Amino acid sequence: MSASTKALPTPTPETAPYWEGARAGELRIQRCRACTQAYFYPRPYCPQCGSADVEWFVTSGRATLASYIISERAAPGFDAPYAIAIVELEEGPRMMTNIVEVEPTPERLVLDMALEVRFEDRGEITVPVFAPAGQAVEA
Ligand SMILES: [Zn+2]
């Protein structure tokens, strides 16, 4: 099955900078200028203090594995088993993603393991995913 058959999120005005960032190879999230809290998913108001004085910035792309499940059943466009994970970005926010470049087994997926972002082209959009840190990026 080709990658383009995977279910695709639909960019909205609020999430457009996130998707444009991914397309450019950058993991962009938002930060509140009032209380300095970084957060994800994209919102026009800070979830911590309610301020509308928020900005986009480019994260380091580094994260740790907070939790995951191994799906034995393939969603459309995915080969099972695969890992659906919650990662904690270095900047603090957590996001749901897929873990790639590693066998999706409890032996290989260790909580708190260091991860770094990759960008997976799924046709019309590019999706941030995470791989174990320190591995060579495949050409
Ligand atoms: Zn705030």
List pLDDT tens digits, range 59-80.
999 999 999 999 888 777 777 8
Specify the pTM: 0.86
Quote the ligand 1 centre to 6 CA distance (angstroms): 35
Quote the ligand 1 centre to 34 CA distance (angstroms): 5
Quote the ligand 1 centre to 74 CA distance (angstroms): 39
Quote the ligand 1 centre to 32 CA distance (angstroms): 5
The torsion angle over the Cα atoms of residues 98, 99, 100 and 106, rounded to 10 degrees, is -130
Which pLDDT value is given to residue 9?
A: 77
Mark the ranges of the chain whose per-residue pLDDT is less than 70. Answer: 1-7, 136-139
Q: Provide the sign of the torsion angle of the four alpha carbons 123, 127, 132, 138, taken in this order.
A: positive
Which pLDDT value is given to residue 137?
A: 55
What DSSP designation does 9 have? P
Which pLDDT value is given to residue 108?
A: 94
How many residues are there in the chain? 139
* b/e map 23-44, b = 16+ CB within 10 Å: eeebbbbbbbeeeebbbbebee
Quote the ligand 1 centre to 31 CA distance (angstroms): 8
> Residue ranges per domain, the chain?
11-128
Quote the ligand 1 centre to 30 CA distance (angstroms): 10
Quote the ligand 1 centre to 45 CA distance (angstroms): 8
